[in-house]
Structure 1
Amino acid sequence: MPASRRLLLEHARTVAEQADRHALTLESILAVLRSDRLDDRRARAVAVDAAATALVGLRTETDEQRSAMLEPAVGAFARLQNDLRPLVRFSDLDVQFVEPPATGRALPGEVAHAARAIVRGAVLALVDQGECRRVRIQWDCDGLNLLVGIRDDGRGELSAYDDTLRPMVERVSALDGEMNVHSTLGWGSTIDIRLPLDPPTSPDPLTDTVALSAREREVLKLLASGARNREIANELGISENTVKFHVSNLLLKSGTRSRAELAALAAR
């Protein structure tokens, strides 16, 4: 991956985490200020403390540290509990946590961070639906995947197509995972998430899976770089008709239907 693209992806992850934490902090502060259990002076003090703590966290954590480290599943889950503590403490929401096994596999930093962000976003989405008083959060690991289950007792009208859940669906998809939402009207919603702990296996290069001649490999390499038939002919010292003949053979051997599809497959 080019260095510039890698930096852009790292920046995007940093921005995404900051947005998640800002949303959580604001929700927690609102819960504190709305609480009937605290007087105005105490509410202001707790809100200021929550904001200051979140600000310090945002300034001290870096994306490089998160992605380079492995986190025990229990430790990552404890961080999630800590993230949600203000929301739980200063609202009427009852959040039940079911911890993962202590002997489970450690989580890659990117997966642990994404899982916490996804759960935080999902909990806020459930709360936004209204009439939600209880949420159950469970983490487990089957050795290959982090398995997350979230269930509430709300109206049961949530679906994976809701705008509030779309960012979470996209993050799960980006990690090659799955996210399913099941709702029963009047009984609540259940969100099941599977996040692979290992990166997806890259497909074998086309040149390793299809028998190609030396000339076909040369044509394929130039085609994948974006060269047109005339440019390929000039580069290889052959006629354009010969290039077309090789491209036709490549389409047939690879099972692709167009030059663009063949170029994309070769580049991948």
Structure 2
Amino acid sequence: MTASAATLAPTLPWQLLEHISDVAQAPLVGIAATLRTAITPFIRSSALVIFTEDCTGRPQKKAGDEGIIGRVTIAELEHLRTEVGNDQPWTGQARIGGMERDVLALKYAQSGALLVLTDPVPAPTRPEGSEDSGPLRIVSYLWRLAAGRIQEKVSDAPPSYLLESRAASAERIRVTAELVDQHSTTLETVLAALRSSALDDHAARAAVTDMTAKALVGLRTLNDRTSDLAEEPVTTAFGRLREDLRPLMRFSNIDTQFIEPPANGRALPGEVAHAARAVVRGLLLAIAEQPDVGRIRVQWDCDGENLLINVRDDGRGELSPEAPTIDRLQQRVQAVDGRMSIDVMQGWGADISVVLPLDPPATPAKDVAAWGLAQRELEVLELLASGHRNRSIAAAMNISENTVKFHVRNLFKKLDVRSRTEAIAMAHSAGFR
């Protein structure tokens, strides 16, 4: 080692370089904790939150105080993001985790991803060799590195990650829709109690207060449900329907009978359970508006492939299949590939049957001849679509990784795509799995 090299070596910021290496190699699942560890020698914080729409399934990546990261909401992060300029540190007070806190925030210009540090304070001492750069400058650099890493990992993610991410997104949408429906049911129930001629003012206030308190508890419970619960036992789904509807029907003077599904019935996918409750809820509200309805019978059954719903009333048979309410319910049924039939009998009421399939329709394989792929390229695409990386493709086909890369480049040209993710998506649309 030369004298100049020996003089230079001790002054290198080895700790910072190790943190840079850790962030650059961090997996998505641990990138928040890795970034927080890297930042702490320069700026300490009670919690670190990353908000990124690159990861549709898990847009929040968090580390630190559980009392903060367990309560922070997307609405809070969305609001804060509108205040922060691209690649410019923002400091101030912001609502995070349900209360106003001191915050340092940075936004990554290329993706709009947001970094939030709560209760930030400069570290009392910093690693040797980092004083000249300044803590904010180093934190900004580490954040850009992490945000770029997230983009890179998502763009090159295997199908299993993408499927999980999309499933989590669908579950969040379902929970939000359930919240909206439950709000609607609560408001309808409150209005029914207030309009009821059978209750005096004191009884109406007591009933509304009791219903509102229970509804708030139910809404919070639903909002806290974890997004990885993609299926629901059929009896649980039916029980939730019954509990949702009982307060509403109590003020309608209609006897509502609930016929339980079999306890061993197949679990319902989340979107099917939600659609089933929404459709039955809509049907009961429509039927309750008809004259001379004294009884409604609601029954669920399961044949292993479909959820079978039957709703029957004893009214005059004046429910119109062409009514706007029924048309909207038809659309909800069709959205999950189901079907609904209405048999209206004048003087005898209406009999409504709904069939909701539990499995998505099979995607027919498309003709891929138009892509003009050679046999080897087709084999590489099949392996890509099933989640293999270059190394395992090379082993499966007994070729080198360089040859795999050659075939992948040709695939990109012929499919007119720019990434593995796009190529895999096209393969899945053509029936490859």
Q: Give the TM-score, by structure 2 length.
A: 0.46
| Residue correspondences, number | 232
- Give the 3 Å change call, closer, same or farther, for CA 65–159 of structure 1 in structure 2: farther
Matched position secondary structure for 2:325: coil
- Please tell me whether the aligned partners of residues 318 and 346 of structure 2 are also in contact (alpha carbons under 8 angstroms): yes
- Please tell me whether the aligned partners of residues 97 and 137 of structure 1 are also in contact (alpha carbons under 8 angstroms): yes
1:27 paired residue number: 188
* Structure 2 CA distance for aligned equivalents of residues 122 and 30 of structure 1: 18
CA-to-aligned-CA distance 1:89-118 (integer Å, 9 cap, x gap): 233011011111122222223222221121
Matched position secondary structure for 2:324: coil
Structure (1/2) with the larger helix percentage: 1
2:241 paired residue number: 80
CA-to-aligned-CA distance 1:100-148 (integer Å, 9 cap, x gap): 1122222223222221121111111111233322111000000111000
CA-to-aligned-CA distance 1:122-181 (integer Å, 9 cap, x gap): 111111233322111000000111000001122323344321123321221111111111
> Which is worse superposed, 85-94 or 11-20?
11-20
> Which is worse superposed, 152-161 or 122-131?
152-161
Quote how far apart the aligned CAs of 1:210 are: 8.6
* Structure 1 CA distance for aligned equivalents of residues 253 and 360 of structure 2: 39
1:120 paired residue number: 281
Among the aligned pairs, what percent are the same residue? 50
1:99 paired residue number: 260
Determine if the alignment matches structure 1 residue 198 to structure 2 residue 385. Answer: no
* Structure 2 CA distance for aligned equivalents of residues 224 and 161 of structure 1: 45
Q: How does 1:40-189 map to 2 (within 5 A)?
A: 40-62=201-223, 65=226, 68-189=229-350
2:88 paired residue number: none
Quote how far apart the aligned CAs of 1:194 are: 0.7
1:16 paired residue number: 177
* Counterpart amino acid of residue 89 in structure 1: R
- Please tell me whether the aligned partners of residues 32 and 91 of structure 1 are also in contact (alpha carbons under 8 angstroms): no
Matched position secondary structure for 1:95: strand
Structure 1: state its 5+ residue gaps.
227-264
- Please tell me whether the aligned partners of residues 67 and 109 of structure 1 are also in contact (alpha carbons under 8 angstroms): no
The Cα RMSD (Å) is 3.7
Matched position secondary structure for 1:158: coil
Larger Rg computed on CA atoms: 2
Higher normalized contact order (CA 8 Å, seq sep 6+, divided by chain length): 1
* Structure 2 CA distance for aligned equivalents of residues 67 and 161 of structure 1: 38
Quote how far apart the aligned CAs of 1:22 are: 2.4
- Give the 3 Å change call, closer, same or farther, for CA 147–193 of structure 1 in structure 2: same
* Structure 1 CA distance for aligned equivalents of residues 282 and 229 of structure 2: 24
1:238 paired residue number: none
- Give the 3 Å change call, closer, same or farther, for CA 267–151 of structure 1 in structure 2: same
Structure 2: state its 5+ residue gaps.
1-53, 58-165, 379-410, 418-428
Quote how far apart the aligned CAs of 1:11 are: 6.2
- Please tell me whether the aligned partners of residues 311 and 352 of structure 2 are also in contact (alpha carbons under 8 angstroms): yes
1:39 paired residue number: 200
